[in-house]
A and B are shown apart, each in its own frame.
Chain A
Amino acid sequence: MSAPEDTPAPTASLADGVRAIVPLLIGVVPFGLVAGLTAVQTGQGWLGAVVFSVVVYAGAAQLAALDLLGGGTSVLVVVLTALVINSRYVLYSASLAPSLSEVPRTRRLLGSYLLTDQGYAVSLVRFRSPVDAPGRWRFYLGASTVMWATWQVSTVLGALVGGAVPSDVPLSFAVPLAFLALLVPVVTDTPTALAAVVSGVVVVVAYPLGTGAFPLAAVCGIAAGAALALLPRRTA
C-alpha cells in the first residue's frame, strides 16, 4: 500500500546524523592533524592552531592561510585567498536552504557556522528521501557537531605532534600534498579539469608577480572552466 499524501514524513534523530558521518571522519582526522601541525610549523603555535580551527573551521582555507602567513604574505591577500577557497560554501548553502527553511533563524545561523563538505554531503543524501523538518535539522546537527568535535581534537593533536617534530624534517611539503589529494575528487569532468589546469599553469607562470599570482590564477581558471561549461552544446 502506498503512503497517502497526508501521512507524516518519517523523522530522523541526532544519532542518525552521527552514524551517517562517522565513515567520513577517517579522512578528516589526518587532515586535521596536518592543519594543526602546519600551524605550529608556520609559527602560529598551538594557540594559533586552536584559534584557526574554532574561528575559521575550514581545512583547506586554514592550510592555505597558515602557509601564506608563514611566507610573510600580507593579511589582505591571506584573507582573500582563504575566502576564494571557501566560496564553495555559497553553493552548499543554497543547496541546503530549501531543506532547512522551516528551522528558526538562530538555529540556521548555528547551522551555517557548522557547514562543511562532509556534513553537506551526508545531509544531501539523507534529504533525498522524505524526512520531516525537525528530523532534517536533528540529522544535520548530529552529523555537523561530531564533525566539528573531530576537527578540533585532531588539530590540537596535530599541533602537539608538530611541536615535537624537528624543523629540518620537510613536513611543509604535506601542505601541497593535502591540496593535491583534495583536488583529485573535485575534478569530475572536462570543465573542472580545464579550470584546474589553467589555474595551475597561470600561477606558476605569474609566480614573479608575488602574492597577486594566486587570485589571478584562480580567476583565470574559474573563467576558463565556466566558459567551457556554459558553451552552447553543438551535437554532431
Chain B
Amino acid sequence: MTTAGLVAAILIGLGTVALRGSVVVLAEKMGEVPPRVTQVLRMIPAASLAALVTPALFRPAGAFDLLSPELLAGVLALLVAWWTKNLFLTIVVGLVAVALLGLVL
C-alpha cells in the first residue's frame, strides 16, 4: 500500500464516519432535516456517479472520441443495467463488449 493511499484511506474514513454519524449521534439534539436540504442531498448520488462514468466512456484515452469501444460497450451496459438492475451482469456484458469491440474498431 502506498503512503498516499494510506493517508487518503484514513482521511476518507474519518470524514465518512462524521457524515454517517452526523445526525444519528446527535439524534436527541436535532430535528428533521428541512425538505429543501433533502432535495439537494437527493441529487448527490446521481450527479457524482454520472461524473465518474462519462469520462471513461467519452474520453477513454484522454481525447474526445464518439466511436470508441468503451462508449459503445458503455451504451450496451447501460441498457443491461436498465433492464436487469444487475450489477454483476452489467459489468460482465460491458467487459466482454469492450474486449470484442476492441478487436473490431
Interface residues of A (CB under 8 A from B): 27, 30-31, 34, 43-45, 47-48, 51-52, 55-58, 60-61, 64-67, 69, 75, 78-79, 81-94, 96-98, 100-101, 105, 108-109, 111-113, 115, 170-171, 173-187, 191-193, 195-204, 207, 213-214, 217-218, 220-222, 225-226, 229-230
Contact = CB atoms under 8 A, between A and B. Distances in A.
B43 A90 contact: no
A27 B58 CA distance: 27
Interface of B: 1-2, 4-13, 15-17, 19-28, 30, 32-33, 36, 38-59, 62, 64, 70, 73-74, 77-78, 81-82, 85-88, 90-91, 94-95, 98-99, 102
Contacts of A201: 54
A184 B84 CA distance: 10
Contacts of B56: 173, 175-176
A173 B11 contact: no
A180 B59 contact: no
A93 B41 CA distance: 12
B49 A60 contact: yes
A180 B78 contact: yes
Contacts of A60: 48-49, 52
B16 A86 contact: yes
Secondary structure of the B side of the interface? helix
Given A31-B87, A47-B1, A61-B16, A196 B46 contact: yes
Nearest to A98: B27
A200 to B, nearest CB: 4
Given A89-B16, A176-B56, A221 B27 contact: no
B21 A109 contact: yes
A75 B46 contact: no
